[in-house]
């Protein structure tokens, strides 16, 4: 799609590198953000309505469901029929389905396509996209997902991408907590952290939290722990995602106990020392408590 014009709304820590990667791949990218940073390297529209009128495909990366709904209500009346709206925000399932229904009613394709991989994955174009929507719209978006990430999984109908994302992050949040608890226990019992990693990373305790994103500085591949826990994925966002998972669980009539306890722990962490820190900074927080 060499002549396709991509509108990208939401040029924050995730959206800016995603838009930049599309721009570097010779797509015509036009960006927009109400709080525009000075170092954005893609052309920027004068207004959100002007962007909507020009774009063949619009991608949004926004902070929450309210923002996704507000932006959709602004742009849908200005988008041409048979264009495509892809929302890469992580939002509640009900809002994703509602926005999708509005788009379809307006004759516009819609995909909910939240991502996994964090800021590092956005910059490195190694994101995983979890996608809900029609197979026809998915086929239109695949070339873009291939540029911005390593993998895109079509999970089902509109809203299924959000379901996959919140389930994934409920696992991630709980796994990171227990990984940090295990390091804290090992420290207190006198086991060397490197020995701990060497055993667990090749044994039944293997996990992404341990092997790819180790919360202990100087152990395993480079992670935020090696950069004073500067966020790759912030504790604030993990708390948000756990809240979305529990909200969806309540609507489904189920009560995940581990997920609920993980949310309580991240809530306390963010209220004390965790705000603005990576979610793996649970480890030094446990050490100091």
3-state secondary structure of 88: coil
Catalytic residue selected from 102, 105, 140, 165? 165
DSSP result, 98-154: HHHHHHHHTT-EEEE--EESHHHHHHHT-EEEEEES-HHHHHHHHHHHHHHEEEEEE
165 noted as active-site residue:
yes
| φ/ψ of residue 151, rounded to 5 | -155, 145
Residue 87: count of CB within 10 angstroms of its CB: 33
Of the candidates 195, 224, 194, the residue with the CA atom closest to the CA atom of residue 209: 224
Beta-carbon contacts of 160 under 8 Å, excluding residues fewer than 6 positions away, are 112, 130, 131, 132
E strand or H helix at 7, and its extent? strand 5-9
E strand or H helix at 8, and its extent? strand 5-9
Catalytic residues: 165
């Amino acid at each position: 799609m060499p002549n396709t014009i991509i509108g990208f709304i939401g040029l924050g820590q995730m959206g800016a590198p995603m838009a930049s990667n599309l721009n570097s791949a010779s797509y015509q990218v036009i960006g927009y953000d109400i709080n525009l940073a000075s170092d954005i390297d893609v052309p920027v529209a004068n207004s959100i309505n002007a962007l909507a009128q020009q774009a063949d495909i619009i991608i949004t990366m926004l902070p929450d469901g309210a923002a996704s709904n507000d932006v959709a209500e602004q742009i849908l009346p200005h988008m041409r029929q048979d264009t495509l709206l892809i929302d890469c925000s992580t939002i509640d399932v009900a809002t994703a389905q509602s926005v999708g229904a509005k788009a379809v009613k307006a004759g516009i394709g819609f995909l909910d396509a939240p991502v996994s991989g964090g800021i590092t994955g956005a910059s490195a174009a190694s994101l995983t996209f979890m996608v809900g929507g029609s197979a026809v719209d998915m086929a239109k978006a695949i070339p873009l997902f291939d540029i911005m990430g390593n993998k895109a999984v079509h999970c089902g109908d509109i809203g299924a991408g959000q379901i996959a994302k919140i389930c994934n992050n409920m696992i991630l949040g709980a796994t990171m907590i227990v990984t940090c608890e295990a390091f804290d226990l090992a420290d207190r019992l006198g086991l060397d952290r490197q020995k701990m990693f060497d055993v667990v990373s090749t044994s039944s305790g293997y996990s992404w939290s341990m092997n790819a994103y180790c919360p202990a500085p100087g152990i395993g591949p480079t992670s935020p722990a090696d950069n004073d826990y500067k966020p790759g994925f912030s504790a604030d966002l993990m708390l948000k995602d756990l809240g979305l998972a529990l909200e969806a669980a309540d609507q489904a009539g189920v009560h995940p106990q581990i997920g609920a306890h993980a949310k309580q722990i991240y809530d306390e962490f963010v209220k004390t020392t965790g705000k603005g820190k990576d979610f793996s900074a649970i480890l030094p927080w446990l050490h100091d408590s």
